[in-house]
Amino acid sequence: MKNKTTLIILLVILIHFTALSPISSTEVPRSFFVDLTNGQPHSIIVVGKNAASMDLISGNMIITKIQSEAYYEDFVYVTISGTKTFEASNDQLITIDPSTMILTWTDNKGNSGSFSYGQSIEKINLRFITTDVNNLKIFVNNNQNPINVVSPENNRNIILSQDYSLNLLDNTPTLLGLYQSGGNIKFNIVFNKKQPGAFQEVKINIWEPEKLLTNDQILLETTAKNNNIILVGGPVANRLVANLVQSGKSKVDWYNSEGEIEYIPNGLYPGRDVIIVAGSDREKTRNAVVKLLNS
Q: Are residues 165 and 263 in the same domain?
A: no
Question: Is pLDDT above 50 for 3?
Answer: no
Domain boundary pick from 200, 222, 242 = 200
Q: What is the Cα–Cα distance from 169 to 188, expressed in whole angstroms? A: 7
Burial of 29 (0-12, 13-18, 19+ CB in 10 A): exposed
Q: Are residues 40 and 79 in the same domain?
A: no
Question: Is pLDDT above 80 for 240?
Answer: yes
**Mean predicted lDDT score pLDDT of the chain:** 85
Q: Are residues 146 and 225 in the same domain?
A: no
Q: In what order do the strands lie in the sheet with 185-203?
A: 112-115, 103-107, 71-88, 185-203, 164-169, 157-159
Question: Is pLDDT above 60 for 293?
Answer: yes
Is residue 15 included in any domain, yes or no? no
Domain boundary pick from 151, 181, 200 = 200
Is residue 52 included in any domain, yes or no? yes
Share of the chain above pLDDT 90, in %: 52
Query: What is the per-residue pLDDT for 195?
Result: 77
Is residue 12 included in any domain, yes or no? no
Which pLDDT band holds residue 177 (cuts at 50, 70, 90)?
confident
Question: Is pLDDT above 50 for 139?
Answer: yes
Q: Are residues 38 and 145 in the same domain?
A: no
Query: What is the per-residue pLDDT for 11?
Result: 38
Is residue 42 included in any domain, yes or no? yes
Q: Domain range spanning residue 179?
A: 75-200
Is residue 221 included in any domain, yes or no? yes
Question: Is pLDDT above 90 for 46?
Answer: yes
Read off the CATH number of the domain in which 49 is found.
Answer: 3.30.379.10
Least confident of 68-82, 103-117, 137-151: 103-117
Least confident of 3-7, 11-15, 182-186, 263-267: 11-15
What are the φ/ψ torsions at residue 169 (nearest 5 degrees)?
-110, 160
Is residue 220 included in any domain, yes or no? yes
Average pLDDT for 148-167: 93
Is residue 2 included in any domain, yes or no? no
Residues 287, 292, 293, 295: is their CA dihedral positive or negative? positive
How many structural domains is the chain composed of? 2
Average pLDDT for 1-8: 44
Average pLDDT for 227-244: 94
Return the higher-pLDDT residue of 70 and 102. 70
**Going by C-beta distance under 8 Å and a sequence separation of 6 or more, which residues neighbour residue 198?**
75, 76
